[in-house]
Chain A
Amino acid sequence: MSIYETNEVRVAAKNIRKTILGLAINRGGAYLGQACSCADILAALYLRVLNFGPSLGAPQAMPFPGAPSPANMDYQKGAAYHGAPDKDRDRLFVSPAHYASVVYCALAEAGRISHEAIEKFNVDGWNMEMIGAEHSPGFECTAGSLGQTVSIAAGTAHGRRLKGESGRVFVFLSDGELQSGQAWEAFQAASFYRLENLIAYVDVNGLQVEGYTKDVMDISPLEKRLEAFGWKALVIDGHNEAEIVRAAETLHPGQPMIVLCHTSSACGVPLLEKRMPFLHFVGIGSEEIEVFKKFHADM
């Protein structure tokens, strides 16, 4: 074990997978493949990388506070769980909002929300939705429409630089959404404005709803494309804590940086291997539930 590896992150990532597998078993399904692919990334970011102040969010789940409106702007924001927005602190924008269960679990593992709050996940009327919005714990913007969040994060990084703030802006992306035009508009603008305070982590699991990304709409070679767009691009093993942590420390003067994390949507739950490439939403039927329950109990 190197200085870049800790038991803490490994345990947190395992707990995330276990909790979400439990949700899939109890609720008939979940975005389990995404939990498997990104648990290590989000655990490492929350526990080792992000410079967040203490959480300002309520430890317990809350009833849905209502959609924002002129009369409803003071509700608890999802960003509260990332601490006060101080000048030297980091921000984290999560783009694939259907990864919400992983974000909630990562917050719980980081001590930013209670484990009991996870019981309200996807329960009618609560703020822990399956695909939430900026009131949902851990979400700094409304992100469900893929491709937009990298622009919002870049605009935030731009604004923070204009104000002379030293904190970094992280954005967590999924690979399928890099098929969208807006993401590349954002990549070109972020390098044009030399946003070196912007760091993207991408869960390159190679899957999307209709199958393998290379078959639905190939986006390779991602590293070369992003370098051509003016970004510092790294390729790492997205299940290796040391690589995830070290990547954030890489120097990238005058450039935004993107970390392409190669992952597997069956990592930690090998029962999912045979379902490849259809792991967008994992439903567990009666014929398999005992197998999954046994695996879950042994985790």
Chain B
Amino acid sequence: MNIELNTHSKNIINWAKAHPEAVVLSADLGSSCEIKEFKNIFPERYFSLGIAEQNMVSWAAGLAKEGFRPFLHTFGVFLYRRVLDQLEMSVAYPNLPVTFVGFLPGIMTPGGVSHQAINDVATLRAVPNMTIFDIGDATEIEGVLGLAHEVNGPVFIRMLRKEVPRLFPADKPMEFNRARILSSGTDIALFSSSICTEEAMRATAALKRKGISIQHLHISTIRPFSDPAVVEALEKVKYGAVTIENHLTTGGLGTAVAEVIAEHGLGTRLTKLGIQDTYAHGASKMHLLRKYGLDALTLARTIEAQVGKTCGIEEPDLEELRAEDYTAV
């Protein structure tokens, strides 16, 4: 498994070469959001709006009305929490093609509570006309701009930066509103997103060795959420479903799966892993993954408990499957 570096930076430059209508708006965090090189190559298409996100969002609406495709770059928290009214009234209501490229989803920052976007999916799932993409690997970074372009409306991307693993083949790009089936099984339906998918892949590999079979779906389109593969997965398993997300367990992927279960009358037992009704704090990714139960070991033990079978999986069983060095801050 390869670790890719600064994939978004390279990708958006290539994208912009073919799409002259694409412009970047930045709120003073461009160098932290892999858009510094874009500024060097396309200085006339890079607009600094300063630490003033509310104006930036409505300004982008004006540009979009004139036929431009604005890509807003800053940390995710500042692109929904600080600007929700602007996002809704200036952009989402008129269904304008503005793309919010939100970095540092969930616990992907030691920057603490002010910088951790832990309820962005919950908030934006309740915004009509929005599309939400939750990036899981480098291949998805390479594919997401094309999908956002096709959506032709407001899009929020939970973007990953710097060192990002390539979990999925480069020639198998992400598809709109389509889950990626990573393993097939009949014991547990497992739904994962963002950085939790790598954790989930490690857990499913270890559990498979112990005889537990898992239908594992990676979810990168979280709004809309209507892929029939989700229902098919829920219908084929004996011991219910587990979700794991880099987000609160309220309103995000777990809730979306719960809604599917209820709306289809499936009655599936569901365990939701993620941040449990609390704000987080600043620390390393590995520390936060473990503290809030977003890691492979917590997932493996949750699945063991739900199946009713203790396999004795321990950290070393999972460590050998790790792709990224999460101990690096």
Q: A70-B153, A151-B62, A152-B58 are in contact. Are A142 and B52 (CB under 8 A)?
A: no
In the assembled complex, the Cα of A100 lies from the Cα of B54 at a distance in Å of: 24
**Contact-size category for B:** 20 to 34
Contact A141 B55 (CB under 8 A): no
Contact A156 B85 (CB under 8 A): no
Q: Does A69 contact B (CB under 8 A)?
A: yes
Q: How far is the CB of B217 from chain A (nearest CB, A)?
A: 25
Contact A144 B89 (CB under 8 A): yes
Q: A67-B128, A142-B89 are in contact. Are A186 and B66 (CB under 8 A)?
A: no
Contact A152 B59 (CB under 8 A): yes
Contact A158 B59 (CB under 8 A): yes
Which B residues lie within 8 Å of A144 (CB)?
89
Which A residues lie within 8 Å of B65 (CB)?
141, 152, 155-156, 159
Which B residues lie within 8 Å of A157 (CB)?
62
Q: How far is the CB of B133 from chain A (nearest CB, A)?
A: 16
Q: Does B129 contact A (CB under 8 A)?
A: yes
Give the A-B pair count, Cβ closer than 8 A: 104
Q: Does B13 contact A (CB under 8 A)?
A: no
Q: Does B60 contact A (CB under 8 A)?
A: yes
Q: Does A188 contact B (CB under 8 A)?
A: yes
Which B residues lie within 8 Å of A155 (CB)?
58-63, 65-66
Q: Is the interface of A mostly helix, strand, loop or mixed?
A: helix
Q: Does A154 contact B (CB under 8 A)?
A: yes
A192-236 at interface with B (beta carbon < 8 Å): 192-193
**Total interface residues in chain A, CB < 8 Å:** 34
Q: How far is the CB of B22 from chain A (nearest CB, A)?
A: 13
Q: Does A134 contact B (CB under 8 A)?
A: yes
Which B residues lie within 8 Å of A188 (CB)?
50, 52
Q: How far is the CB of A100 from chain B (nearest CB, A)?
A: 15
In the complex, the chain B residue whose C-beta lies closest to that of A180 is B54
Q: A68-B129, A145-B85, A148-B86 are in contact. Are A156 and B52 (CB under 8 A)?
A: no
Q: Does A272 contact B (CB under 8 A)?
A: no
Q: Does A240 contact B (CB under 8 A)?
A: no
Chain A residues in the interface with B (C-beta under 8 A): 67-70, 73, 133-134, 141-142, 144-145, 147-149, 151-160, 162-163, 181-182, 185-186, 188-189, 192-193
Chain B residues in the interface with A (C-beta under 8 A): 47, 49-50, 52, 54-55, 57-63, 65-68, 85-86, 89-90, 93-95, 128-129, 152-153
30 example contacts (A-B, Cβ-Cβ < 8 A) are as follows A67-B93, A67-B128, A134-B93, A142-B89, A148-B54, A148-B58, A148-B85, A151-B55, A152-B59, A152-B61, A153-B62, A154-B55, A155-B58, A155-B62, A155-B63, A155-B66, A156-B63, A156-B65, A158-B59, A158-B62, A159-B62, A159-B63, A181-B54, A182-B54, A185-B52, A186-B55, A186-B58, A188-B50, A189-B59, A192-B50
